[in-house]
Amino acid sequence: MDKVFSDKKAIFLFVFPAFLVFFMIIIVPIFFSAYYSTLDWNGIGEPTFIGIKNYIDLFVNNTDGFTMAIKNSFLVAFFSVFVQVPLALILAIVISKGIKGEGFFRTVYFIPVIISTTVIGQLWMKVYQPKYGMLNKLLDILNLDFLQRNWLATPETALGSAFFVIIWQYIGYHMLLLYSGIKAIPTTIYEAAEVDGASNFQKAMRITIPLIAPMIKVCVTFALIGSLKTFDLIYVLTKGGPIHSTEVPTTLMFSSIFLQNKYGYGSSMAIFIIVECLIFTVFIQKFFKAENITY
Amino acid sequence: MKKISSKLLAFAVSGILALSSVGCGGTPKAPEEPAAKAAEASSDNAAKEEAPAATPTEEKVKLNVWHLWTTDADANAKSFMKVLEQYKAEHPNVEIEIDATENEAYKTKIKTAMAANEGPDVFFSWGAGFAQPFVDAGQILPIEEYLTPEQKANLLPSQTANLTYNDKLYGLPFVSWVGILYCNKEMFEQNNIKVPDTYEELLAAVEGFNAKGIVPFSVGAKDGWPLMFFQNVLALRTAGAEGSNAALEKKVPFKQPEFVQSAQMLTDLVKAKAFDEASLAFTYDEAKVAFLNGEVPMFYIGSWFAGEVQDDKISLVKDKVVAKNFPSLAGTKGNKDEFLGGAIDCFMVNNNTKHKEAAAEFAAYVSEHMAKESFLLGAGLPAWKVDTTGETIDPLVQQMVDLANGSTGFVLAWDTKLSGEAAEKHKTLVQEVFAGTKTAEQFADEMDALK
Amino acid sequence: MENVKNLDEPSISKIKIKHAPRNTKHGMNNIKTYGERVILLLIAVVQVYPLIWLIMFSLKSNQEIFGKDPLALPQNLLWGNYARALFDGNIGRYFINSIIVTVASVIITSLLAAMASYAIARMKWKLSGTMLIVFLLGLMIPMHSTLLPLFIFLKKTQFYNTYAALILPYIGFSLPMAIFVLVGFFGTLPRELEESACLDGANIYQIFARIMLPLIKPAIATISIFTYLSCWNELMFATTFVSKQEYKTLTVGIMGMVGQYATRWGELGAGLVIATLPTVLIYISMSKQVQKSFTTGALKG
C-alpha cells in the first residue's frame, strides 16, 4: 500500500500544475522584491545598489515609524487569534449543533465577508462619524455622553476603532471554515457521547475542538497572516491616519512604493512582511503538530 | 524525486533569468527591448500590413491614450469626450484606443506602466513633482517642436511653468485652477457678518459664526490635501509667491519667520474654532457636502468646485455663493492678488511612441480644444487663448475669471510642487500642526529636512 | 410570537428526549434556548445590516449620504441611480467579463488545489511539509509588491490585456488559501476508505477521483466561495493588467464611478449593489450545496 501512496510520478502529476502557476505568479515576484529591496530606486529611473541600507533605515533609523506599524499589526494579530477565532468557533459550534434555522444563521453571519471593503469602510465611517454617527448617538441615548469620542479622528481611539471593524468583518469567514470542519465529523461520535450523557459543553471541549484541530490551525494561520498584512480596511477607514497612528506595514509599503516613489525601500518592507509571516507560520505548524489528534 | 526537483530548479532558474533581463525596467537601453517592441508591433499590426512611414500624415495610426475621467460627474470628462469626437471626425486615419482609470488607481497604473517602460502613447499626467521621475528617465517627449506656430501663439506662457523641465516643455495643459474662498452669501447676510476681504475680517467672521453655533469652515482634513491648502495659502500671504516658490525649489530654507508664522496661523485658526474639531475624520467628499448643503458658510478649495456649486442637482447653494481670493494680510511680503493654483493637469507624450508626430498632434489638439470646453463647464480657467464670444459663462465662473485676471503671482499646491516622498510628508506635517502634535517651529524644521 | 414558539418546538422536544433523566433542568434549558436564540438573532441583525445599509445608500443623493443623518432611510427613492449605473457605462460587458474571469479562476483553482493538497496531505513523500510551507508563502506576500514584476511578466508573455492577465494571477493568489484549507480538511478525514479502496486494487488516480473528490465536496464549496470573493472583488490587478474596454471587469467599472473631483455616491452604491447581488445569490446557493453534501455525503455516520 505504501507503494501506491508514495508513487513519485503521481505526486509530481498532482503537484506540478499548481506549482507551475504558483511559481510564476508568486515565487518569481518574491525574488524580484528581494532584489528591489537592495536598491535605491524611484521605480522609474536608474537604480543604485545600496545593499541592506533600506533594512537599516527600516529598523535602526526607523524613519517612517515602521516599528510602530509592526506593533500595530501585532495588535491586530493578537485580537484576531484570541478574540476573533474563538468567537467564530463558538458561533460555529452553536449553529452546527442542529438548531432551527441553521442555514439561515450560517448565511447571514457570513454577509459582512461578501460585502466589498469599500462599502464596509463607508458604513463604519458613518457609524463612527462624530456628529451624526450611530455610535455617538447611541451613547447619547444611553446617557453615556462622557464616552463620546471623535473615533477615527483622534490617534488614541482610531486604532481600536479600526481594529474592531477588521475583527468584526472576518468573524464569518472563520466561522464558515470551522463550521465545515465540524460538519465533517461523523455524527456517530456525538451519538456515542450522548449515550454517555455528555453535555453540549463537554461535547464541544472533548470531541469537536480536538477533532477540528487541523481546521483551527488553518483559521489561526489565516487570522495571523491576514492581520500581519492587513491593508484594505485600514486604507479605506483611516488611510493610516490620523497622523500615522493607524499605520500598518502594508499601508507604509503602499505609500512608499506608489506615493513616495521609494520602490526599493517599499520592497524591503514587503520582504520583511513575508519573512515575519513565515516565521509565525512555521511556529504555528510546530505548535499544532505537537498536539495533533487523529481518529 | 531528485530528478524532479532538479528539473524544477532548472525551470525556476530559467524563469528568473528570463524575467530579470527586463526586471529592472525603465532603462530604454536594455538590449532586448527593441526586439520585444518589434515583436509586439508586428503582432499589433499584422492585419493592417502597415507600410513604412513615408507620408506620416496619411498613415493609418493607432494611438493608445490613457486618462482618468471615468465619470461624467467630472466636467473635464464631458469636455474630453466632446473634443475626442471632434478629433476623430477630423482625423479618420487615426484610431484612438482610450483607457480611462479612476484617479487613485490611475496613479498606481501609470507609474507601474512607466516603470516597466510600457506606457501608452499619450497620457494624462500631472506636471511638477509627479512627472519629474518620468522626465528624468527620458520617457517623455519634449513637445514644443511639434507644435504649430498658431498653437505656440495660443498657449499662454504663464501656464507652462509647471510642465517645463530644464527649459523644455514636456506637457500641454488645458485648464489651470486657482484657490478660491467660496462664501455662502446667504448665511453671511442672515447672521449679519461681512464676507471677509482682510484677515481681520476673516477672524471676525469665524468668531461671529461660532457665536451662532455655526462651524465656519468645512475641510476634508482626512485626505490631507484639502487641509494643506490652508497652510499653503497662509504661507502665500506671509511669504508671498516668490518667497514660497523659492523655498519649494530649495533656494531658501523654510526655517524663516514667514513659514513658521504660516503654521502658527493655522494653529491659531484651529484654536479660534474655525474648523470642526473632528475634521481629521472627514474626507473631501464629506466636507464639500456640508458646504453644498448650506450647513457651513466657508469652503476654501480649487476653482474646479464651481461647477458643483452651480449644479442644482447636487447643490442647495446655487447662485448663493460668492467667490473670493483668500483674505489679505497686512504688513507681510504677500500680495492680496496672489493665488494658490496653476496649471498642473496636462497631457504628455511617451518618448517611446512609434508615432511621435501623430501623438504630439493629438495631445496638442485635445489640450487646446479642452481649454475652451472645460472652461465653459466651469472646470477651471483656460490655459490657452480661447474665444468665448457668444458663449454664456456662469456668473460664479466669471467671478473667478475676473479674480484670476488680476492675479500677480501663483504658487502651486505644495504637494504637487514637491515630489513623491516630500509631498506625502508635507501633508502629514500640516495634519500634525492641525492636531497640535507639532509646533510651528517643528513644522519649518521638518520641511527643511525633506528631500 | 406564535411563530417563534412553533419554530422552537422541535428543538425543545429534542432536549426533552435527550436529557430525559435530568428533567428538573428542563425549565432552565428552555430559558437557555430562548436566550441563545435571542442572541443569535441579534447578531444576525448586526451582520445583515451592512447589506440593508448598502441598499439604502444606493437610493440616496450625495446630500443625504454625507448629510446630517447618514444612517436614515432615503427621503426619495432615487431609482435613477440604478438606471445610470446600469445604462450609462458598460456594466453589462464588465459583468460578463467578471463572470468569465471568476468562474475560470474558481474552477482551475479548485482542481489544481485539490490535486496538490491530496498529494501533500495523504501521500508519503519527504518534501510534503516543505511544499506546504512553500505554497503558504503565497499567503504572506503583499499583493502590492508583486504589481510591477507581474506587469512585466504579463507584458512579456503577451497575456497583458487578455482574460489570462487576470485569471493567472488570481489562481496564483488563490491557490495557497485553497491548498491550506484542503490540506486541513484532508487531515480530518479517516484513512480507512482510502486503505480499503487500495486493498480492492484501485490505483492512486482512481482513489483520488472516485473516493476523495466526493468526500471533499464541502471543502471545495467553501474554498470556491473564498476564491470567488477574492476574484470578484479584486481591484488593483484588474485595473493595472487590463487597459482594453473589452476585458475590464465589474469592480473596475464601478470604481470608474469615482471621479477626479466629483463622485455621485448613490450611483456608486447602485453599482455596488449590482455587484454584490450575485455574490449573495451565489453564496446562498453554494451554501445549500455545502449543506446538501454534508447530509448526503459518505461522512454522515
Measured between CB atoms, which of C11, C175, C180 is closest to A22? C175
C255 → closest Cβ in B102, B113, B118 = B102
Position A188 scores a pLDDT of 81
Please state the rounded mean pLDDT for residues C282-298.
66
C300 pLDDT above the threshold of 50: no
Residue A79 belongs to domain spanning:
65-290
Q: Which three cell numbers stand for residue C111?
A: 482542481
Provide, as residue numbers in chain A, all residues whose Cβ is less than 8 Å from the Cβ of B107. 258-259
Q: Which residues of chain A have pLDDT under 50?
A: 293-295
Rounded distance between C-alpha atoms, residue A127 and residue A140, angstroms? 14
Q: Which residues of chain A neighbour B23 with C-beta distances below 8 Å?
A: 32, 35
Give A246 to chain C, closest Cα distance, Å: 18
Q: Do A281 and C280 touch (CB under 8 A)?
A: no
Residues of B in Cβ contact (< 8 Å) with C153: 19
C13: pLDDT confidence band, cut at 50, 70 and 90?
very low
Give the per-residue pLDDT at C4: 37
Give a yes or no: residue A113 inside a domain.
Answer: yes
Minimal C-alpha gap between A79 and chain B (Å): 24
> Mutate which of B140, B284, B286, B424 to test chain A, going by most A C-beta atoms within 10 A?
B424
**C204 touches B: beta carbon within 8 Å:** no
pLDDT at residue number A17: 96
Looking at the domain assignment, is residue A36 inside a domain?
Answer: no
How many angstroms away from the CA of A184 is the closest CA of chain C?
A: 6
Q: Is residue A218 part of a domain?
A: yes
Tell me if B278 and A131 make a contact (CB, 8 A cut-off). Answer: yes
Give pTM, 2 decimals: 0.84
Residue A46 lies in a domain: no
Neighbors of chain A with 3 or more C-beta pairs under 8 Å: B, C
What pLDDT is recorded for position B160? 92
Q: Whole-angstrom Cα distance, residue C257 to residue C89?
A: 9
Contact C149, B116 (CB under 8 A): no
Establish if A43 touches chain B: CB-CB under 8 angstroms.
yes
Asked whether residue A8 is domain-assigned, the answer is no
Q: What is the per-residue pLDDT across C43-72, written as a single tens digit (0 to 9) for each?
A: 999 999 888 888 888 898 887 887 777 667
Give the integer Cα–Cα distance in Å for B423 and B181.
23
Mutation target vs A (from B7, B109, B228, B280; most A CBs, 10 A cutoff): B280
Which residue of B64, B105, B308 is in closest CB contact with C239?
A: B105
Q: Kindly report the nearest CA distance between residue C150 and chain B, in angstroms.
A: 10
- Please state the domain extents for chain C: 2-82, 89-296
CA distance B1 to chain A (A): 7
Residue with the three cell numbers 468646485: B305
Q: State whether A18 and C169 contact (CB < 8 Å).
A: no
Helices of type H across B219-256: 225-248
Instruction: Please report, in tens digits, the pLDDT of each residue of chain B (451 residues total).
Output: 444 444 444 444 444 444 443 333 333 333 333 444 444 444 444 434 444 444 445 678 999 999 999 888 888 999 999 999 999 999 999 999 999 999 889 999 999 999 999 999 999 999 988 999 999 999 999 999 999 999 999 999 889 999 999 999 999 999 999 999 999 999 999 999 999 999 999 999 999 999 999 999 999 998 999 999 999 999 999 999 999 999 999 999 999 999 999 999 999 999 999 999 889 888 898 899 899 999 999 999 999 898 889 888 888 999 999 999 999 998 888 888 999 999 999 999 999 999 999 999 999 999 999 999 999 888 888 999 998 888 888 899 999 989 988 888 899 999 999 988 899 999 999 999 999 999 999 999 999 998 7
Q: Is residue A149 within 8 angstroms of chain B, CB to CB? A: no
Summarised one tens digit per residue, pLDDT across range C237-276 is 999 999 988 899 998 988 888 877 778 888 888 988 988 8
Q: Which residue of A has its CA nearest to C265?
A: A122
**Predicted pLDDT of residue B5:** 46
Which chain C residues are Cβ-neighbours of B64 within 8 angstroms? 243
Contacts of A99 in chain C (CB under 8 A): 11, 36-37, 40
Q: In this predicted complex, what is the ipTM?
A: 0.87
Count other C-beta atoms under 10 Å from residue C22's C-beta.
Answer: 13
Give, as one character, the DSSP assignment of residue B325.
P
φ, ψ (nearest 5 deg) of residue A30: -60, -45
Gap from A199 CA to chain B (nearest CA, Å):
49
Q: What is the pLDDT of residue C284?
A: 83
Q: Domains in chain B, please, with CATH?
A: 58-174+343-382 (3.40.190.10), 179-341+413-449 (3.40.190.10)
State how far the Cα of C20 lies from the Cα of B440, in Å rounded to an integer: 76
In this structure, the strands spanning B171-173 and B168-169 are: unpaired
Can you give the CATH number for the domain in which A275 is found? 1.10.3720.10
Answer whether A35 sits within 8 Å of B15, measured CB to CB: no
Minimal-distance CA residue of chain B relative to C247: B99
Average pLDDT over all residues of chain C: 82
Confidence at residue C295, expressed as pLDDT on a 0 to 100 scale? 54
The answer, yes or no, to whether residue C278 has pLDDT greater than 90, is no
Cell of B287: 466636507
Scanning the structure block, which residue is given the C-alpha cell 472652461? B375
Count up the domains in chain A and report the number.
1
pLDDT for A240: 85
Measured between alpha carbons, how far is residue B296 from residues A292, B188, B216, B299 in Å?
63, 10, 6, 8
Mean pLDDT throughout C189-207? 86
Q: Are B172 and B364 in contact (CB under 8 A)?
A: yes
Architecture of domain C89-296: Orthogonal Bundle (1.10)
Q: Report the residue of chain A nearest C179, measured CA to CA.
A: A18
3-state secondary structure chain A: CHHHHCCHHHHHHHHHHHHHHHHHHHHHHHHHHHHHCCEECCCCCCCEECCCHHHHHHHHHCCCCHHHHHHHHHHHHHHHHHHHHHHHHHHHHHHHCCCCCHHHHHHHHHHHHHCCHHHHHHHHHHHHCCCCCHHHHHHHHCCCHHHCCCCCCCHHHHHHHHHHHHHHHHHHHHHHHHHHHHHCCCHHHHHHHHHCCCCHHHHHHHHHHHHCHHHHHHHHHHHHHHHHCCCHHHHHHCCCCCCCCCCCHHHHHHHHHHHCCCHHHHHHHHHHHHHHHHHHHHHHHHHHHHCCCCC
Strand partners, B123: B66, B348
Q: Does A148 touch chain B (CB under 8 A)?
A: no
A44 assigned to some structural domain: no
- Three-state SS string over A269-292 comes to HHHHHHHHHHHHHHHHHHHHHHCC
- Residue of B74, B97, B305 with shortest CB distance to C259: B74
Which grid coordinates are listed for C138? 503565497
Residue A152's nearest CA partner among A236, A242, A244 is A242
Q: Which chain A residues are closer than 8 Å to C48 by Cβ?
A: 108, 111
Residue B377, pLDDT score: 86
Contact A111 C184 (CB under 8 A): no
Using CA coordinates, name the residue in chain C closest to A95: C40
Contact at CB, A43 and B133, closer than 8 angstroms: yes
Task: Summarize the confidence of residues C85-106 as an average pLDDT.
Answer: 90
Q: Give strand pairing partners of B345.
A: B126
